Amino acid sequence: MNPMEQFAVTPLFSEPLLHIAGHPIYFTKQALMMVLVAVLSSLFLTIAVKPGRLVPSRGQSVAELSYKFVADMIHSTTGSDGLKFFPFVFTLFMFVLCSNFFGLIPGSFTVTSQIAVTFALALLVMLTVVVVGFAKHGIGFLKLFVPHAPWYLLILLVPIELISFLTRPISLSVRLFANMLAGHTMLAVFGGFAVSLSAAGGIYMGIAIAPLLLIIGIILLELLVAFLQAYVFAVLTCIYLNEALHLHDHH
């Protein structure tokens, strides 16, 4: 059993969906999961808040809590003028959170364990930051790369700040991707232990309970990681947006 097998992206239909510049585009397991995550999470959020009760039902309070959680997070990191980015940050947060949680269902597929997905999300964030920065400050946005220092140090510091800025989409995407990949690989490895131990028969059958118990612990840890990584992704988005909005004000 190969623990990495679960991350393979396989087409669902043998026929390609469409051709772009000669490349066949398939509808894959990955694409299906992304559609499911997007549709189910939006459906849940719209249906849950529909009754608009004063004393919320369970679903409504989940939707309201996640709204308030993200709104508080944006408010505390960027101030009140960052709240116009609420739809963007909330969509990102819910998409990552739901992908992480859906991935934990046995037999499903973790969208965020693909670097292509996380890097695309991170690029989207950085493009937004650059566009917002230039729209708000014009050419003054480039001051973000010029720290307060004498000019002879700036020759060294500007390239460093530039590299540091270019690092962000990579560290943002790799962190989410690596966490999900590591967790699910770990689950598959211990699952493999349990299966091969019980297949060995005899006294080994008894030992097979140990990896099973461990898996329960890892699943709990993964639930925490799934939430934590979605939170980290969203909060870093807010921090980067804050820099684009306010440049060096926070110093």
Query: Which stretches of the chain bind another protein, using CB under 8 A?
Result: 69, 72, 76, 156, 159-161, 163-164, 166-167, 170-171, 174-175, 178-179, 224, 227-228, 231-232, 239
Question: Which value, in Å, is the radius of gyration of the alpha carbons in the chain?
Answer: 22
- Which residues does 247 contact at the CB level (< 8 Å), separation at least 6? 137, 140, 141, 143, 144
Closer CB to another protein, residue 177 or residue 190? 177
Least Cβ distance, residue 170 to another protein (angstroms): 4
- Taking the least distance from each CB to another protein, the nearer of 117 and 197 is 117
Nearest approach, Cβ of residue 65 and another protein (Å): 10
Q: Taking Cα atoms as reference points, which of 2, 3, 222, 6 lies closest to residue 110?
A: 6
For another protein, give the closer residue by CB, 109 or 183: 183
CB of 72 to another protein, least distance (A): 6
Q: Taking the complex as a whole, how short is the minimal distance between the CB of residue 205 and another protein, in angstroms?
A: 33
- Helix (H) or strand (E) segment spanning residue 247: none
- Residue with smaller CB distance to another protein, 27 or 231: 231
